Chain A
Amino acid sequence: MTALLKLRGISKRYGDAVAVQPLDLDIFAHDFVAILGPSGCGKTTLLRMIGGFVAPTSGTVEIDGRDVTRIGPEQRPTNTVFQGYGLFPHMTVRQNVGYGLRLQKKPKAEIADRVAEALRQSRLTEFADRSVTALSGGQQQRVALARALILRPKVLLLDEPLAALDLKLRHAMQDELRRLHQEFGGTFVFVTHDQGEALSLANRIAVMNAGRIEQEGDAETIYTAPATRFVATFIGEANLLPGERKAGQVKLEAGPSFADAGADEPVTTVVRPKAVRLLRAEEKADIEISGSLTEVVYLGDHIKCVVAVSDKQDVVVHLDVAVAPRPVVGEHVRLGWSIQQQRVVSA
């Protein structure tokens, strides 16, 4: 299966500042892809290069087998939902949604039908003849989506689509986006700095940092098997244990060592708080480490414990609320986890 969208060696430089390092990315039809990263990582620039708003310094953009690198956004088979929506305030909802079709000079009747259908799908029918400035943020978001989707783009690009909404609306819009993706059956690419949003919406995630894609894969892989220290920290909570690999053996600064194939170098061992257990008296685990409990916090769905395993190393453990007896601050504890639940990455 060949990718619908292929980026090859694409990069962007502004003077001496590099926004995006040369990178490759494949996106397949019907994917819902999140480009995830902190602000300033180059993710919006990457999206704008796909949409045609930014000319890449090097590399090519190919959509459905056609090189569109030199083609402006008005001719690309992509449509964009902008962060500020970019709705036309001098037009009604209906006029906004029909804008693209009117530019294509479609017959009036066809435009009317397709607009009505789009409005119905986006549950905007009752607002059709209102000015867009009279709508709430969520409604404006739906107009922007309908306006872009009505043109049936091969790829729909969304720039921080939920950033402007409050928490409650954000959850509703996540459902809405998921539903539209299913109904529409298209390919969505969205940019976000919110790992929760990326995990809940996307089936594939590209994690960006400092102009590079650090890891690209499905949500579960990204979470459970982070390829880099950055990915591990950016997505979810993680314990990072520094150490040294020598001759297939990793020795953690905090004590334990274990076998791990790879080059001799300083490494970081990543383990999620949820994967760490409090070991009972006789219990064994692949990796064992001990320390004293410095903090116990009840957080509703779990209990968070902080264990100082050395002067400079804490390990965070998430315990089930049902655990009994509850550990007490000051208590000396043994921690352990299985080797399958940790990841060793370059330091």
Chain B
Amino acid sequence: MESRSNYWLVAPSALVFVALFIAPMAFFVVLSFWQVEYFELSTEPTLANYRDVFVNYWRVMGFTVAVATATALLTTFLGFVFSFLARFRAGQWAQALLFIVLITLFGGYLMKIYAWKTILGNEGVLNSALMAMGIISSPITSLLYSPQAVVLTLMHFSLPFAVLPIYASMRGISDAEVEAARDLGAGRWPILSTVIVPRCQSGIVAGFSFVFLMVGGDYVTPLLVGGKITMIGNLIAPQFGAQFNWPLGAAMSLVMLLAAVAIIYLFRFLVALGSRP
């Protein structure tokens, strides 16, 4: 009896979850099997949208997955290093370091993008400085409007989202654990690989997932600092706007979502594999 009454307690949140997450998702799935052709919405089930995705969009999708994976790996690594320094090396400065990370969240998304444009452009801060120092004689034109610029900007934007879960899980590691590992003969690297990384698994995977999902769905950064780079978001967004092809947009979104889930699970598997005692 008691357990039955407990189920009722979760009913409101379950309802919210179903209404706000499951239902729209289900609608998207259904939608992706419909089709818009010659301005008519046909509810006859078809795989045409998925065929379209795999025939016409696989290259952009692959590129997007590559950019997102690279960004997520680099950002997670940086986030790990940052968290490590804050947790184990910064001492009393740890709070200050974290505050700096949090404060970058306030900057706003577009502000960061424009900041990087100012830094990376032909007449930007970086090129000007390098030229003033005589290191280069003409601007490095590939800084802005390149995949690197997209990765860099997205890393800057998403770093806090990697730091926070990793740092949170690192705080759960007691000093005694680390000292015990040293005491039992572990040097710097074995401590990392046998204690710190395995203990931060969930934080690392959470950080990677946050970053990957944010980058995979982004379509503003490539537009503004990517030059002529197109990511899948740049092709999905118009399907819900100018092109009014929601079914195709839904199919593209779902395939991208599955790709993201697959990558995240693969990453999780690799982290777990590397963390086995």
Interface residue ranges, A against B (CB under 8 Å): 51-53, 72-75, 78-80, 82-91, 95, 99-100, 102-104, 144, 147-148, 151
- Residues of chain B contacted by A72 (CB below 8 angstroms): 182
B176 near A85 (CB under 8 angstroms)?
Answer: yes
Q: How large is the interface on B (under 10, 10 to 19, 20 to 34, 35 or more residues)?
A: 20 to 34
A74 near B183 (CB under 8 angstroms)?
Answer: yes
Contacts A91-B277, A95-B277; A103 near B186 (Cβ below 8 A): yes
- Residues of chain B contacted by A73 (CB below 8 angstroms): 179, 182-183
16 A-B residue pairs with Cβ-Cβ distance under 8 Å, sorted by A, are A73-B183, A74-B185, A80-B183, A82-B176, A85-B180, A86-B176, A86-B179, A86-B180, A88-B277, A90-B198, A91-B277, A95-B277, A99-B184, A99-B194, A100-B184, A144-B180
Contacts A74-B187, A91-B277, A147-B184; A82 near B179 (Cβ below 8 A): yes
Query: Complex formed: what's the CA distance from A180 to B8 in Å?
Result: 54
- Residues of chain A contacted by B184 (CB below 8 angstroms): 74, 79, 99-100, 103, 147-148, 151
Query: Complex formed: what's the CA distance from A80 to B190 in Å?
Result: 18
Does B255 lie at the interface of the complex (its beta carbon under 8 Å from any beta carbon of A)?
no
Query: Complex formed: what's the CA distance from A236 to B179 in Å?
Result: 35
Looking at the assembled complex, report how far the CB atom of A290 sits from the nearest CB atom of chain B, in whole angstroms. Answer: 56
Nearest B residue to A151 by beta-carbon distance? Answer: B184
B185 near A100 (CB under 8 angstroms)?
Answer: yes
Looking at the assembled complex, report how far the CB atom of B10 sits from the nearest CB atom of chain A, in whole angstroms. Answer: 26
Does B156 lie at the interface of the complex (its beta carbon under 8 Å from any beta carbon of A)?
no
B177 near A87 (CB under 8 angstroms)?
Answer: yes
Which 9 pairs across A and B sit closest by C-beta, in order of nearness?
A: A86-B176, A86-B180, A100-B184, A82-B176, A103-B185, A84-B176, A95-B277, A73-B183, A91-B277
- Residues of chain B contacted by A91 (CB below 8 angstroms): 277
Of B180, B182, B183, the residue contacting A87 (CB under 8 A) is: B180
Contacts A88-B195, A90-B277; A151 near B179 (Cβ below 8 A): no
- Residues of chain A contacted by B195 (CB below 8 angstroms): 88
Query: Complex formed: what's the CA distance from A95 to B194 in Å?
Result: 11
Does B174 lie at the interface of the complex (its beta carbon under 8 Å from any beta carbon of A)?
yes
Q: Chain B 96-110, CB within 8 Å of chain A: the 1/0 string?
A: 000000000000000
Query: Complex formed: what's the CA distance from A100 to B184 in Å?
Result: 5
Query: Complex formed: what's the CA distance from A83 to B175 in Å?
Result: 11
A86 near B185 (CB under 8 angstroms)?
Answer: no
Does B199 lie at the interface of the complex (its beta carbon under 8 Å from any beta carbon of A)?
yes
- Residues of chain B contacted by A148 (CB below 8 angstroms): 183-184
B186 near A74 (CB under 8 angstroms)?
Answer: yes
Nearest A residue to B190 by beta-carbon distance? Answer: A103
Task: Scan residues 197-235 of chain B and give those whose CB is less than 8 A from a CB of chain A.
Answer: 198-199
Contacts A90-B198, A91-B277, A103-B190; A74 near B182 (Cβ below 8 A): yes
- Residues of chain A contacted by B180 (CB below 8 angstroms): 80, 82, 85-88, 144, 147
Query: Complex formed: what's the CA distance from A90 to B180 in Å?
Result: 14
B174 near A84 (CB under 8 angstroms)?
Answer: yes
Looking at the assembled complex, report how far the CB atom of B197 sits from the nearest CB atom of chain A, in whole angstroms. Answer: 10
- Residues of chain A contacted by B179 (CB below 8 angstroms): 53, 73, 80, 82, 86
